[in-house]
Structure 1
Amino acid sequence: MTVFTPSSARDVLDAIQWAVSEETPLEVIGHGSKRGIGQPTQTGHALDLSKLAGITLYEPEELVLSARAGTPLAEIEAALAARNQELAFEPMNYGPLLGGAAGRGTIGGLLSANLAGPRRIRAGAARDHVLGVHAVSGRGETFKSGGRVVKNVTGYDLSKGLAGSWGTLAVTTDVTFKVLPAAETETSLVLTGLDDGQASAAMAGAMGSSGEVSGAAHLPEGVAGRFIDGALKGGARTVLRVEGFGPSVAYRIDLLNRLLKPFGTAETLDEPASRRLWREIRDCHPFADGSSAPVWRVSMAPSEGHLMVDAFRRAAGANAYYDWQGGLIWLRMEADPEAETLRGAIAHFGGGHATLVRAPLAVRAATPVFQPQPAPLAALSARLKEQFDPKGILNPGRMAFA
């Protein structure tokens, strides 16, 4: 295998133009932290963007940051933290869950996977914060979309179109994101012993209140004890995060305490414990156990998630916990993934999406990793692929299942 390691946008263009001329597919990678997600690609060559790195613009006063696609996310976050700013959608770190090191994700991979964390319920995902990109399509053509301000798009917003495309449409060389001030402090309210249905009701009440909750998760008894070194052992935990200025956080925690009194007496986690807990919730810490046991990521209506899990558990062994007010479910299987059973249960309870995030290579090759699309949407996706990458040069087969 030939591995191209471009250090400039021109190098990326040259590599892709060569691949197009030779009709030779390329696997596109940054640091490989998410390489194990998707169908195994069938490529003889790789385009490694790890040397295409560096922050090219950071204007804290304007809340904007630009960087080359291979820039490590850890470097981005360190630069922002030094100015008390952050990527508000708190992107997940997939490394430990997939058996790799933490902090190896890149800013380009973040957009390609459309990452988001627990704050998704208030701040959105990567696609909601990207301002612009420079990229090279599978045709071997460069293009630019967006810019360095929020209102900069006329016509199609290709920056958002590339979000979640997993490198199958174009190779991003430079990206620009909106950044925001980090919260002064945070506190988490913790309810103990609720079953999944009660937790769903409690989280819905909190999210519908004026408490401005920025994180809502339910950790059933089977997984709660695996967070923050076992500090949550002793029953299920339902966790609500409040962020902001100190007096505001204290006022809203008191408001939520009174609102949720029917669900039992709540405890609080101070700022260090709260921050650690939400990082572990974000990064699927209880299932990052060094094994290759199948892990699914399910997105569906928050009010239906716990009902789906209850029904699915009757057909297959699984452990689960909930983020995004119950709208994001992490499932760890005890055996090979029951894709049809799981997706059938999701469809029965209103629909949603299930992605096989971790599994042995042979299982991924035999399973539709990404949620199969309805025929009209699949046809639209095929036309989009045809426009951007007609010869199937970029990450062929990663999102498709034959």
Structure 2
Amino acid sequence: MSQAERNKAQILSGYRVLDCTVAMAGPFAAQRMGDLGADVVKIEPVEGEWQRRMAAGGGDGRKINASFLSLNRNKRSVAINLKSAEGQAVLHRMVEDADVFMQNYRPHVAKRLAVDYDTLKAINPKLIYVSVSGYGTDGPYAARPGQDLLLQALSGAMYSTGVAGGPPQPSGQYVVDATTAYAAFEGALAALLHRERTGEGQLVEVNMLDAAIAFQMQELSVFTIDGKPQERTAEPHANVYIRAPYGVYETQDGYVALAFPPLAKLGELFDEPLFSSMNDEVDCFEKRDLIHRLVMQHSRKRKSAELIEAMLALGLWAGPVNDFARTVEDPQVKFNGSFVEYEHHTEGRLKTPGFPIRFSKTPSTVDRGAPLVGEHSREVLGAAGFGEEEIARMISEGVIGAP
């Protein structure tokens, strides 16, 4: 199948997304749409999104940093000065034949730039307008910075792990950003489905606080329905609402992960009679510290691979604890094709996590890597009806950015 045929076969082929988002949640959501074939046009300031210029994880020396590369594949870039009236007019013309518009500006910025929902709806009533914010577009926290760590903290997530008397425990991943990205992606798709049925566009609002609360569906429901507080224990336990043993346990040569095994079977494996006298649904909550220490006493005598094999043979839920180097080389990860590799015209051969949903007839593809600032300004604006001389003038006057 040729590239053109693959593009036509993709689920979102023929849809155009204008991506005015920055950082992670918004760009990640828009990239998901590009992975499924949508024509995603990233709208950037003429100097480019600020994240392009930051050192990603301490890595440096690239024309485009790794974070930006990971969140902006399958997009074209048009650089516009939206602080100018002419730049706003350029974007308004692009909105005329767009299907989805995505933004995550601070409160009131969209209106100031004339890209708020009411303004764009008047131009294109069928537009799906996705607004991503930290706390919502109104309310007591609306003006606060919407950053992942701050939302983990506010949402209560940091007290579901860690130890009693210890500090709140943040996640090592941008879990709120990622969850918000998927919510925005789902919201855009659902609104497009509604438009297919009714012809109506609409406003879709997603905020990080609600996303952080929603992904704790089980934990927060245990609190709101059963009234059980987050009671952390002296020994590290992976989640305060799950019975022991549940967490990571040291071995002779590393660690294993173990998830709530029946204690009788674990006692059989470790020759530990105390386990056989315990009740899984009572003692495994009330005696979490004791159970953790007992498991550690036994696990430290075994090697990881041998212990995991023995646990799996008994039907226990156990597995390896990988760092990134081992994850990338894991046989199941390789079998799944969890990572994609492609050539980038300035950064060379890249390997990044791929699209995690498989479609039998409409697979996702990587047609282009993350763009340079304004790399496609001339191409996109020419297709929107702007003449070459007009585009050249706007570039020279700083209304439009292009390489």
Please report the TM-score for the alignment, with normalisation by the length of structure 2. Answer: 0.30
Say which structure is richer in strand.
Answer: 1
Higher-Rg structure is 2
